[in-house]
Chain A
Amino acid sequence: MGAVVITGVGVISPVGTGKDDFWKGLIGGRDGVGEITAFETAPFRSKKGALVKGFHPKAFIPPLKIRRLDRASQFAIAAARMALEDAGLSLGEGVAPERTGIVIGSGFCGVVNSEAFHRGQVLRGPGDLNPILFPNTVPNAAASHASIELGIKGPNSTVVQSFCTAEAAFCFACRQLMAHKADAIITGGVDELSAILYRGWNELRMTAHDRGEGERSAPYDLQRNGFIPGEGAGIMVIERQEDALRRKARIYAQILGYAQTGGAAQPGKRVAHAISGALQRGGVKTVDFIDGAGNSSPRLDAVEVEGLRLAFANRYRDIPVSSIKSMIGEGIASGGMRIAADLLIMEHGMIPPTINYEYPDPLCGLRVVREGLKAPVRTILHTGISLDGTYMAILLGRTDGIS
């Protein structure tokens, strides 16, 4: 798996837009969660969300086009532009449009338009439908708009796999690159938090709510009782290592290995298999940091800990772990923002805190990072967990000495 490297990153997140602001937010423990005012939350048990604030699409998209695009598509275009620029790649110059791909993980992009379109059907009937809405109900609208706006003509796909949506896209993109279907691929995850989606998470009783400790995203904390729905985009540019070296690109990290497993029964074991698989492929026994999937839901975090315990034996207590979902909440494609964070963690040699970690869950027994921690990080294990039965482990490593 040594062939793929990450050379560019673009982020739009609840704690900051652009990699610098995102990083400042993360390392400073900036809480991206707040009371939702964008839509009515009165009917719901939960009131908070991790919404993107201060995003100015005009900086990235021609003004006339902005109003025809949903937020998800705006996020995708903006983050993809940032990532390409960060990678120093220009379509048509550094790389041909036909050799540039885009593979985006997007769970519920298009839902906001689906809801609006269907509302029109129910309330106004078939005679008065808005034809602009319908093409934007498809989940691939975000990636497609980005491909149109940026002129990307290579492999183009959109992937969803429950809470591992961005990781699944990332793996898809890696395989396309290794199969030489493209020379550079833009990949990651995009989420838009809409009123209807917020309703859905609430209806399915998955969200955090106030039981005396406040409504918080508190991964691994004893008092955790659900996740905070979030949104944003984390987009990367990946290339084969030899191409990146040839054009003397700045290399954030190499993908040392990844593994995916499935099955809803014995999830801890399945998570452990994914982790062991990724470590084995990367030829390492331990890592410097674990970027946890823990999203503050009681069961998911416990499953992750069991997986780590089984995969690392007692060593898991020594490896610092942090979940930035404490600050950015949970989209189902927030893995994109997390991979972006992984790259910045390696670059800065600092680990961001898991905020709201106040009452350690004795069952967890993890070395959770509570305050920003200075530490050389050469390898990161990134986990992805969906209790529907999808588990991912991605192993990233610095490539100093190579570049």
Chain B
Amino acid sequence: MSEAVIEFAHVVKQYDGRRVVDGLSLRIEQGQCFGLLGPNGAGKTTAIRMLLGMTHPESGSIRVLGHAVPEQAHRARAGMGVVPQLDNLDPDFSVRENLGVYASFFGLPDNTLDHRVDWLLEFAELTHKQHARIGELSGGMQRRLTLARALVNDPGLIVLDEPTTGLDPQVRHVMWSRLRELQQSGKTLLLTTHYMEEAERLCDVLAIMDHGRIIAHGSPAELVRVHCERNVFEFPRLDAPQQAALDALPEVRLERSGTSWYAYTEQADPVHDWAAGHPQLRMLHRHHNLEDVFLRLTRRDLRD
């Protein structure tokens, strides 16, 4: 078996005695788009920081691009591009200068750079803004520039921590198409996200993380098939007798989330038959999706 691009083995990280990452093991292969899903506080961002050598684990081992991390993290980072959760573009410089200055941190010589910077500006659709200051850019433009900046060193591995959080749908679609282009050009992608749609569209492999460890792992289709019944019925309101009746139907799993109720089942007919007797009941029937899996596995309680 060839060496994985990223390999975590039994990694533990604690803050103030609390295990934020609790025996995390994962393997990401060359060319994969790997999605890390999980509620807030699941340990995703800590895992990413450890991958970069910016947080040191208490125990376990991490290898990235063939280098031991954190010991040789700076060597690994030479082959990586990072899109952090919060933009940290350099406000002292223009759009174009941001790319040039960042390239200098990779030791790239100035004279070979102009071409690459032109291409990156085009890739991020920011050529017309190249002389603008960072403060003059919209949130979406800043995000695109952050992605372009992550590519200055032509990395084989790109790590994105919630790349589209807070973006409007148009910008999100632009980001997705750019990420797909990168994936098609053979790059390995690791991204964390809260958006199931994003994970389903982009990722070949997903890992759902909670309480610092991976609780489910597989392709999006696999996860949905293995962890959730095929049919989902949503009820905005159910009174107690109705709840009891639904719960009593064979092979129906009834769950509450917020004020709504969800009935999960492989066979839709028994629920339809039952609902026929309650014509006033509001009900939505749909196929299972990744969000159902996510909510089922991480439970429905709020995380803060």
- Tell me whether A and B are bound partners: no
Name A residues whose Cβ lies closer than 8 Å to a Cβ of B.
Answer: none
Name B residues whose Cβ lies closer than 8 Å to a Cβ of A.
Answer: none
